[in-house]
């Protein structure tokens, strides 16, 4: 079914000059291609060249512990946040996330499903259903709406990273020797978010002389982060618990965008905010899920397989989520 150019424009008029007359799905595919091609390049380089996992693991650590927290801090502090104007967006993001978390936590208690799930695998994989790949989110927001889109998704990341990380650690902390609070306080994304929000609230800014350096670090984090996500893809153990795999990925890539769409209408978000929210809701899960699972003594290899499949599912779920706004415009 063809979507009219006028309807596409009404939903995505804030996009950087899109050609009139294309179907929305085609434009979304073009929009997503550069970022997913970097993921594919990372996968191919890791699998078929001398730059194997032993090379990419330090790169992943560099991105996770330094480059990406720097980008997140800079995205939050670079411009004053319109807290009143973005309050509904933050509420929609938190509400969508809390709903997804609640659904995921109940999976082991579903009558037919619960009996087929391993309790430890369920605890380790719960995070896959609601955590998100911030590298991909920032890259897409920048392509969708430039600096404005980047700041909006940074606000969402800022309020959701602490909440979602708490929700990710909690099920595993109950069956692990690793301290709950200690895990949270070691998370570089939480620390960067809190620092950025605090500086923004106090009206602090980076000196002009260091801004170009910080901006270049941010650019490096997106490209390396996307390629690292591809280099870390592995599917080996997904068949171990197929019902669990299907359940958490369905929450991540089907239910969450639908919940976000309802939230966007209920809170009367602007078209730009709604599109950022829908993009945020359909992102592949965080590439660091398996790192957290392994560090807390759980089956990291199984979670790594879920991360891989989630990254692949994102190729379909992101166009699906964005196209929802064409069928039910805000």
pLDDT in tens, 12-35: 444 444 332 233 444 556 666 777
* Over residues 55-60, mean pLDDT: 85
Output phi, psi for 329, to 5 deg: -65, 145
Under 8 Å between Cβ of 278 and 329: no
- pLDDT given for residue 128 in this prediction: 94
Per-residue pLDDT reduced to its tens digit, 205-247? 888 898 889 888 877 887 887 788 778 776 665 666 788 899 9
pLDDT at 287 over 70: yes
**Token pair listed for 219:** 């650019």
Q: How many residues does the chain have?
A: 330
| Cα 319 to Cα 144: distance, rounded to the nearest angstrom | 13
Ordered structural domains, the chain, with CATH: 24-327 (1.20.1530.20)
DSSP state of 1: -
Distances (CA, A) of 330 to 78, 81, 96, 327: 29, 23, 17, 10
pLDDT at position 126 is 93
Q: How far apart are CA 140 and CA 143, in angstroms?
A: 5
Please give the average per-residue pLDDT across 240-268, as a whole number.
Answer: 92
First CA to last CA across the chain, in angstroms?
20
């Amino acid at each position: 079914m063809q979507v009219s150019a006028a309807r596409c424009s009404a939903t995505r008029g804030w996009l950087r000059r899109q050609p009139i007359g294309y179907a929305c799905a085609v434009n979304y595919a073009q929009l997503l291609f550069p970022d997913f091609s970097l993921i594919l390049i990372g996968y191919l380089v890791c699998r078929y060249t001398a730059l194997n996992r032993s090379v990419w693991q330090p790169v992943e650590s560099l991105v996770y512990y330094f480059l990406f927290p720097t980008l997140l801090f800079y995205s939050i502090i670079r411009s004053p946040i319109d807290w009143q104007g973005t309050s509904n967006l933050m509420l929609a993001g938190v509400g969508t996330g809390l709903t997804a978390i609640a659904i995921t936590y109940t999976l082991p208690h579903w009558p037919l499903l619960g009996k087929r799930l391993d309790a430890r695998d369920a605890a380790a994989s719960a995070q896959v259903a609601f955590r998100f790949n911030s590298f991909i989110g920032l890259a897409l927001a920048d392509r969708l709406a430039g600096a404005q889109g980047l700041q909006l998704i940074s606000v969402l990341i800022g309020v959701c990273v602490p909440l979602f990380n708490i929700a990710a650690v909690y099920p595993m902390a109950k069956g692990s020797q690793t301290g709950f609070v200690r895990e949270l306080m070691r998370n570089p994304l939480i620390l960067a978010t809190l620092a950025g929000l605090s500086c923004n609230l106090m009206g602090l800014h980076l000196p002009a002389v260091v801004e170009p350096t910080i901006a270049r670090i941010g650019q490096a984090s997106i490209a390396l982060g996307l390629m690292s996500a591809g280099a870390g893809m592995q599917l080996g153990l997904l068949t171990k618990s197929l019902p669990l795999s299907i359940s958490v990925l369905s929450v991540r890539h089907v239910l969450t965008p639908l919940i976000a769409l309802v939230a966007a209408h209920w809170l009367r978000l602007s078209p730009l905010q709604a599109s950022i929210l829908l993009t945020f809701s359909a992102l592949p899960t965080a590439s660091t899920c398996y790192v957290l699972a392994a560090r807390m003594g759980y089956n990291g290899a199984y979670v790594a397989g879920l991360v891989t499949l989630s990254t692949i599912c994102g190729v379909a779920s992101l166009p699906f989520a964005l196209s929802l706004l064409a069928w039910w415009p805000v």
